[in-house]
Structure 1
Amino acid sequence: MTYNPAAANPLFGNPLRSRQDIEKALRDLFAPLLPYFSEGSARVRVDGAAAHFDRAAADLEGFARPLWGLTPLAAGGGEFEHWALFREGLANGMDPDHPEYWGTVNGIDQRQVELAAIGFTLKVLPHLVWDPQPQGAKDNIAAYLTHARKFDYADNNWKFFRILLDMGLEQCGVPFDETLTEKFLDELDGFYLGDGWYRDGNVRRIDHYIPFAMHFYGLIYARLGKDRKRAEAYRERAALFARDIQHWFDEDGGTLAFGRSLTYRFACGGFWAALAYADLEALPWGVIKGHYMRHLRWWADKPIAHGNGVLSVGFGYPNLFMSENYNSGGSPYWALKAFLPLALPAEHPFWTAEEVEADFDAKPVPLKHPGMVMQHSKGNVVALSSGQQNWQMRAGSEKYAKFVYSSRYGFSVETDERAYNAGCFDGMLALSDDNRHYRVRESNETAQIAENCLFAVWKPWGDVTVETWLVPAGHWHIRVHRITTPRALHTTEGGFAIPRADFNADTCTDETGRALAKGETDVAAILDLGGQRQGRAFRALPNTNLIVAKTIVPQLRGEVAAGTTVLMTAAMALPAGSEAEDALANPPKAPDLEALEALFGREGTDVSAILVPERF
C-alpha cells in the first residue's frame, strides 16, 4: 500500500482552469461522502470525532454543508443524480417520529447554522427538494423551520442564517413573522465599520468570516433578496471590500492564514465566488476569476483529505491541534461555498473572461480596520498585525495575536503550554519567569496604525508592560519591543516557520544575534539588531504548523533584567534562491525609536478591531 495523492486530495490532478474543471472538482469532493449517508439519508457521519454540540447536530452538519456547492450546480443546469437522497433526508430529519430526526431547536443551536444551507436550497431549487414532497413531509418541514427561526441567534454572522432560512420559507409559501427578518438585517448593519469592512459581531475580531460569511451571505441576498435598497448597500460594500481583501491573497492563490475556522479551506475564496454570483464586477472579471481559480489551484496538491477522500479537519493536512471546539467531521464542507459560480451559465463573463495574473508590488498596504500592514513578495503575502484578539477559541492567541501572519508559511499553534523551551513562538514574543510556563500577547490595551507601521501596548502579566512597534522593511520586517518588568524574565522570539527537509538535510545557523534556517525550498532568518540574544534554529514539534507538518523556526533567546529593556528584531522568509540570498546579505538597520514614537504621536489612529470593550 503506497501513499496516493489523489486519495489525499480529490482536487489532485485537476487543472482547475475551466467551468468543466470546477464542476468535476465539486463532484469529486462530494463522491467520498456517499457511503456515509445514513439509511434514512438524514445524517452523514464521517468519523467519530466530536464537537461541543450533540451528535445529531453534527450529523446534520455533514448532511447540509455539501448543499452549498450542490445547489449552485443544479441551479446552473449541472447534472446531479442524488437529489432523492436529499429529499428523503429533509423529510426524515424534520419528522419528529422518525429515528433520524435532527432534534428540536430550543435556543441558540448549531442546527440554526446548518438550516441556512437548507433555506438557500429551498429558495433556489424548490422544484427539486420541496415540490415533490408529500403534504405530510411539507407540513413537518414548515413546522420545523418556522420553530427554529423563532429563537435568538449568536450575535455575529449567524444572524444571516435566519435571513437565508426566511428566503427559503417565503419561496415555498410558508408564512412566518417577517419582523424578525428585518430586526436581524438591521442588527447586521450594526457590525459594519466602513470601507467595505465588518466586524464578526461586537468583538475584537476581523477575520475570514468577513469575506466568507458577512459578504458571502450579503451577496446572496443582493441577488435573491426582496429589499433592493439593502441589496444595493451590500453590493456597494462588497465593491469597496474587494480592493482591500485581494491583499489577503498572494500571487499563487494562497490566502493569509489567520484567525479561526481555517478548516473551511477554500471557503476563503468564497468572496470571489459570491461576487460572480451577484453579478458584481467589483474588479475586472479577469482579475476576480484569477483570484478565484488560483486559490482553488493552491489547494490541489495538499493532503487535505483522509485516505478515503473525505476532507479532514485541519488546514494543509489533517490536524486536530488547530481545530475549534465546534469542528465535527462534517465541518470542512463549508469549503464548498467556493462553488457558488456554478449557478452561472457558461456564457457569463466570469466564466468567459481570461484569467488576469495578480498584480502586486512590494509597496506595503495598510489596512486600518483589521489592524494590518500587508507585504507582498514572491508566492507570499505577509501581514503585520495588531489590534485583534479571541479568548474563546482554542489557540486564540496564535490565531489572532501574533505580530505577523503569512500565506506561504502559515502559523503554528502551541501544543504544550507547560513546555516553554519547546515552543514554536513563530511571529511571537514569549516571556517566562520559571522556564516552564510562558506568556505571549493575548490582547492589546492600545493598538494604533500610522502610515505603514503598527503600535500596540500589551501586558503579559499585570505588572509587566510591553510596547511593540511593527515596521515593514522590504523582504524583512522589524519588531521593536520595550519591556518594563519588576523582575527578570526569559524571552524567546520566533521568525517564520519553514518546511523541514527529510533526513535533517536542512542547514541551520545558531549564533549570537542571529538564527538562520535553509531548507530544500525556503530560507528563514531572525536577527537581533542589538546583537545580544542567542540564535536558535528550532526544529519545532510535529503538527504544530498549519500548512506543513514539520518545520524549523529561527528564534532569538535571552534574559531581560528587571527594569526597562528595548529589544529590536528583524525577521524574513523567502523561497530559496538569489532573492533570498540578497535579502540575507542586506539586512535592515535598527530604527530610530524616538522617530517611531513621534510618528505615532503625530499620526497614530486606533485600529478599528480594538474599538469595542474586551469580552471575557
Structure 2
Amino acid sequence: MSTPALPGLPGLIEFPEDDRVLSPHTGYTRAHWEAAADGLLGAAWKWATPQGALLDLPGRPSASGVRSDGLEGYARTLLAAAFRVAGAEGKDPHGWLDRYARGLAAGTRTPGRDDAESWPVILDHHVQGQPMVESASVALGLRLTRPWLWDRLDSGVQDRAEEWLRGAIRHVPAPNNWYLFPYTVAGFLESVGRGDAQTARARERALELLETWNRGQGWYADGDGRAFDHYNGWALHLYPTLDAHLADDRAQLARHGARLHEHLESFGLLFGGDGAPIHFGRSLTYRFAAGASVALGALTGHTPLTPGTSRRLLSGSLRYFLDRGSIGADGLLGLGWHGPHEATLQPYSGPASPYWASKAFVGLLAPAGHPLWTATEEPAPSERRDEVLALPAPGLLVQSTRADGIVRLHNHGSDHARPHEAESAAHEDPLYARQAYSTRTGPTARGNIADNHFAVEVAGIRGARTRIQPLGAGQGDGWGWAASRHTPAFVSGPPMVPGLRVESVTVARGPHELRVHRVTGAPHGARVTHTGWATGPEETLLSVLHPLHGWSGRDEQRAPQGTAYTRWARLPRLTGEAEGTAVFAALAMLTAEPDPASAADAATVVSATADTVEVRWADDGSLTRIAFAPLTVEHGRTERR
C-alpha cells in the first residue's frame, strides 16, 4: 500500500507494481526509477531552509560543517531532479525546478554570510574545499535543465551563480578526481556563453591529468597513486563522457567513450547475482551510484553490455539497497551500506553525502523508448557462468561463481597510499589494504582483527599492508592469478624491519582461492598470521581457510564491530613462525552453496621450497606451479619443470 504524500511533496517512494515480463529479474521499469527519484527528493526537501538554499538533513555533521552539509543536500539532490526532469523533456509534475531556482537565488545572494540561506564560498581543498565538490553537481544540474531553469532566471541571479561557481575554477582541487569538478563547472559556463581563457585552462588541466591517470584496460588511478575503486565509474568516466555527450563533441566522446566501453568489460562483472556492487574502496555510502557508468554506457552507446543486461545491473543495484534498509522510515538515504554503519564512513561524509547516489539516475536521460528501458532484462554477467578475470593494469583479479552469485575481488594493485607519504601503518585503510573483497562481505573495522589479511608480527606488533606493488596478473581457461609485494609497516617500534618483504599470489579457480605468500628477511621470533572472509552468524555463508603448507596453528577469531553486512562477525585464522625466507600456502573459500565441496579435499601441496610451490587439484589432477624468482604462475594438466 502506498504511503500518503504530505501536502506539496511526495511521501515515501510510491512504486508501481513490478513488471516481471519486461524485467523478470528485478521487476523494475523506468517508472520505478522515476518514482525512486521523486520519493528521495520529497523526503529530502522536508528539511530545506525557508527559501530552499540549503537542505539540512538530520544526522552527525561532516568534517566540513553543517553549512557545507546543507549545500551538499541542495547540490546532490539537484542532480536527481535534473536527470528526472531532463529525461522527461521538461515535465516537472512536482515542481522540483522551481524549488531549486528559489534556492539558487537565495544561496548566491551573499555567499559566506552566517545566515539561514547563504552558501559557503569555494576555497582551496585544504581550506574549505567541500563546496568545490558540490559546485560540479550544481553546474551539471543547471546544464541539464537549462531551458527550464537557467534560461528563466533573471540576469542578476545568473551573474551571482556564475561568480560563485567560478570559485571552483580559481582555487586548488584535491590531487585526484577533484580536478573534474572545475572541469564540469567550466563546461557549463561555456555551454551558456560564459566561457573564457580561465574556463579553457580548467578543462585543459583536467584532461591533461586524466591522461596521466589512465592506466589501461579502462581503469584510471584516482590521482598519482594507485587507488582504483568506484570513483572510476561515478567520477573519472562519468564527468568527461557525459560532458562530451551533452556538448555533442564527437572527438571527445569517441575518446572517452572508448575507455568507458573498455572499463565496462570488466566492471560489468563486479555486481553480484543479488544486485550488490563490490564492497571495495571509499565512499561506499554512495551505494547505487556504482551503476552510473553502466547507465552512461547505455545512454551513449559506449558499452559492451546489452541494454537488457545494463538495466539488470542498474535496477538490481537500486533494488538491492532499497530492499535492505538503506532508506529509513523518514524516507532519507542514511549513512552506511544497508542500514547505518559507522565503519563504512569517511570523515568527509555528512547527512546528505549518500545523495551522490543520484548519479545513477543519469539513465533517465535515455527516453522511454530507448532500448535501455524497452529491452527485456537479461542475466547479469555473474549469473551466467563461473568467471575468472585478470586485470593487470589495476592489479585486480575478479572471481565470480554462478551457483551463489558471489563476486570476489582479489586486490594486488589498489591502495590508498599517497605518493608523497612514507609507508606507515597509520595509513592502512581497511577499504583498500585487504587482499580480497566481495559482494556479500565487508572488511572488518580498524579496531577489530583484519579479515583477508596476511601479516608478519614482530615483537607482537602486526605489520600493515599499505603501499602495494603489483607483480603481474594473468588468466587461462577457468582460472586466473594476480600477485603483489608489500613492505610491512609497524605502528609502534621501528616503522620498518630492514629487508622484510612479503610477496603474495592468489590463484582463483571455481569457488577456490589458492593463497601463497613468501616472506623474506623475517627476523628471529617473527610470527605470521593469515585470515579469511568475515561472516556473521545469521548469514548463510561459509568461510573456509584451509592450511596447505607452512602453518602450525588454526583457530577462529571474532570481530565484535562486525562489517557492513553483519553486526558481529567471525573469521578463520592461520598462524605460523617465520625466520629468514619462508613460504606459506592456504586454500580459502567463500560460498553460499548449501553443500559445497570441502576445501580440505580440493587441493594438496606436491612440493614447496623457498622459491617454488606446486599444488595438485583433486577434481581433475591439474597442477598449479608458482615460482618467485622470477615470478611465474603456471597451471595445466601435467607437471612443468
Scaled by the length of structure 2, the TM-score of the pair is 0.82
The answer to whether structure 1 residue 390 and structure 2 residue 416 are counterparts is yes
Distance (Å, rounded) in 2 between the aligned partners of 1:394 and 1:92: 43
Structure 1: runs of 5 or more not aligned: 1-8, 417-422, 502-519, 605-616
Match among 578, 586, 590 for residue 569 of structure 1: 586
Query: Which residue number corresponds to residue 149 of structure 2?
Result: 129
Read off the aligned partner of 1:309 and give its amino acid letter: G
Distance (Å, rounded) in 1 between the aligned partners of 2:311 and 2:101: 33
2:454–2:531 contact (8 Å) kept in structure 1:
yes
The answer to whether structure 1 residue 57 and structure 2 residue 68 are counterparts is yes
Instruction: Quote the offset at 1:369 in angstroms.
Output: 1.6
In the TM superposition, 1:42-191 aligns within 5 A as 42-77=53-88, 78-79=91-92, 80-96=94-110, 99=115, 100-108=117-125, 109-177=129-197, 178-180=199-201, 181-191=203-213
Query: Which residue number corresponds to residue 546 of structure 2?
Result: 527
Read off the aligned partner of 1:334 and give its amino acid letter: W
2:53–2:107 contact (8 Å) kept in structure 1:
yes
Going from structure 1 to structure 2, the CA distance change for 1:592 and 1:150 (only over 3 Å counts) comes to farther
Query: Which residue number corresponds to residue 462 of structure 1?
Result: 497
Distance (Å, rounded) in 1 between the aligned partners of 2:284 and 2:186: 28
Query: Which residue number corresponds to residue 621 of structure 2?
Result: none
Match among 534, 538, 555 for residue 497 of structure 1: 534
In the TM superposition, 1:50-449 aligns within 5 A as 50-77=61-88, 78-79=91-92, 80-96=94-110, 99=115, 100-108=117-125, 109-177=129-197, 178-180=199-201, 181-225=203-247, 227-359=249-381, 360-377=384-401, 378-391=404-417, 396-414=428-446, 416=447, 423-435=448-460, 437-445=461-469, 447-449=471-473
The answer to whether structure 1 residue 560 and structure 2 residue 577 are counterparts is yes
Relative to structure 2, which stretch is displaced further, 101-110 or 531-540? Answer: 531-540
Instruction: Quote the offset at 1:230 in angstroms.
Output: 1.4
Instruction: Quote the offset at 1:394 in angstroms.
Output: 9.0
Distance (Å, rounded) in 2 between the aligned partners of 1:471 and 1:134: 62
Distance (Å, rounded) in 2 between the aligned partners of 1:291 and 1:121: 24
Query: Which residue number corresponds to residue 480 of structure 1?
Result: 516
Instruction: Quote the offset at 1:38 in angstroms.
Output: 1.1
Distance (Å, rounded) in 1 between the aligned partners of 2:301 and 2:470: 40
Distance (Å, rounded) in 2 between the aligned partners of 1:165 and 1:222: 14
Structure 2: runs of 5 or more not aligned: 1-11, 19-26, 419-424, 489-495, 614-624, 634-641
Q: Deviations over 1:223-268 (max 9, x none)?
A: 1135431121111111122111112222332221111111110011
Instruction: Quote the offset at 1:48 in angstroms.
Output: 4.4
In the TM superposition, 1:508-519 aligns within 5 A as none
Relative to structure 2, which stretch is displaced further, 568-577 or 143-152? Answer: 143-152
SS in 1 for 2:549: coil
2:268–2:294 contact (8 Å) kept in structure 1:
no
Read off the aligned partner of 1:429 and give its amino acid letter: F
Going from structure 1 to structure 2, the CA distance change for 1:388 and 1:447 (only over 3 Å counts) comes to farther
1:478–1:569 contact (8 Å) kept in structure 2:
yes
Distance (Å, rounded) in 1 between the aligned partners of 2:408 and 2:528: 24
Root-mean-square deviation (CA, aligned residues, Å) is 2.6
Query: Which residue number corresponds to residue 506 of structure 1?
Result: none
SS in 2 for 1:488: strand
Distance (Å, rounded) in 1 between the aligned partners of 2:168 and 2:218: 31
SS in 2 for 1:126: coil
Q: Deviations over 1:354-400 (max 9, x none)?
A: 11112443242111122111111122111222122114699753211
The answer to whether structure 1 residue 589 and structure 2 residue 604 are counterparts is yes
Distance (Å, rounded) in 2 between the aligned partners of 1:263 and 1:545: 14
Relative to structure 2, which stretch is displaced further, 63-72 or 271-280? Answer: 271-280
Query: Which residue number corresponds to residue 37 of structure 2?
Result: 26
Distance (Å, rounded) in 2 between the aligned partners of 1:13 and 1:576: 34
Scaled by the length of structure 1, the TM-score of the pair is 0.85
1:219–1:275 contact (8 Å) kept in structure 2:
no
Q: Which has the higher contact order (CA 8 A, sep 6+)?
A: 1
Read off the aligned partner of 1:94 and give its amino acid letter: T
Percent same amino acid among aligned pairs?
A: 27
Distance (Å, rounded) in 1 between the aligned partners of 2:357 and 2:295: 12
Residue correspondences, number: 566
Instruction: Quote the offset at 1:600 in angstroms.
Output: 7.1
1:44–1:59 contact (8 Å) kept in structure 2:
yes
Going from structure 1 to structure 2, the CA distance change for 1:531 and 1:145 (only over 3 Å counts) comes to closer
1:122–1:171 contact (8 Å) kept in structure 2:
no
Going from structure 1 to structure 2, the CA distance change for 1:49 and 1:242 (only over 3 Å counts) comes to same
